[in-house]
Amino acid sequence: MRNATHEALSNENEQNMKNTRTLKAIARAILLSACALFSPPAYAHFGMVIPATDIVEQQNEASLNLRIMFAHPFEGESMAMDKPQLFGVFSNGQKTVLSGTLTPMTVKMYADRAPSQAWQTTYRLQRPGDYQFYVQPAPYWEPAEDSFIVHYTKVIVNAFAKEQGWDEPIGLKTEIVPLTRPYGLYRGNLFQGVVMLDGKPLPFAEVEVEYFNRDGTGKAPKAPFITQVTKSDANGVFSYCVPHAGWWGFAALSTDSRTMEHKGVQKPVEIGAVLWIHAYDFK
């Protein structure tokens, strides 16, 4: 009798433990679903090369400061950036490597809780013409996307009124080659560019567009307004009408043919062709 009672109690305890485990599993599933439902959206990443100005006319402006960052530019959130693998300038048909001139700095955007590492340099513009500054960053691991991110980023500065070189490709893995002159732009101008991958136009590429909301005064009425999205056509050409004065970034995204290892597992690499332009109000 005692054995039968003991066995019955053991069975009851075992069933209770199973029920408890089941309830815990259900609770975890509900919690994960709630987190997925109510967690904030994953905002677009942008490599950033922001000069003090995009048009230099006077010799006293010839020493140009540039900042190199990685961020969510509209949302004002920066990410720590390792030293770029390559930084340089293309002008008068020649590339000059400037990686050795970079010095670390910290940036604190309007929504940052703490500063993030970024990079800066000063470059002296010597001759009239267009200067294409470019950066190839170290790969950035993004857990939310389960992939690495590499944004090949450019900005174009005009010096001393000689408009030559802004529409030349410089031979990056992927890049945006402007069809519209990328400086001297008014708010409302139509900007067009060609997305290039391995030296060829990339058809039907997704192009993310975002405003550098430097001081946080810009407000998006709903989430889709934060990052505008367009696509290149069959010839790799995309178009965008700039609605507001300030810095605007274009990031044409594709997946690299290579993978990279993360914790022993090969992961995809998102590559972006990024170009920054500045628009001005008409006065």
The pLDDT tens digits of the residues spanning 3-59 come to 554 554 455 555 555 555 554 554 454 443 433 344 445 578 999 999 999 999 998
The pLDDT tens digits of the residues spanning 85-100 come to 999 999 999 999 999 9
pLDDT at 10: 53
Secondary structure of the chain as H, E, C letters: CHHHHHHHHHHHHHHHHHHHHHHHHHHHHHHHHHHHHHCCCCCCCEEEEEECCCEECCHHHCEEEEEEEEEECCCCEECCCCCCCEEEEEECCEEEECHHHCEEEEECCCCCCCCEEEEEEEEECCCCEEEEEEEECCCEEECCCCEEEEEEEEEEEEECCCCCCCCCCCCCCEEEEECCCCCCEECCCEEEEEEEECCEECCCCEEEEEECCCCCCCCCCCHHHCCEEEECCCCCEEEEECCCCEEEEEEEEEEEEEEEEECCEEEEEEEEEEEEEEEECCC
The pLDDT tens digits of the residues spanning 156-199 come to 999 999 999 999 999 999 999 999 999 999 999 999 999 999 99
pLDDT at 43: 73
pLDDT at 38: 42
pLDDT at 81: 97
| 107: pLDDT strictly greater than 70 | yes
- Domain segments of the chain as ranges: 1-39, 43-280
Q: Residue 174 burial by CB count (10 A; 0-12/13-18/19+): exposed, middle or buried?
A: buried
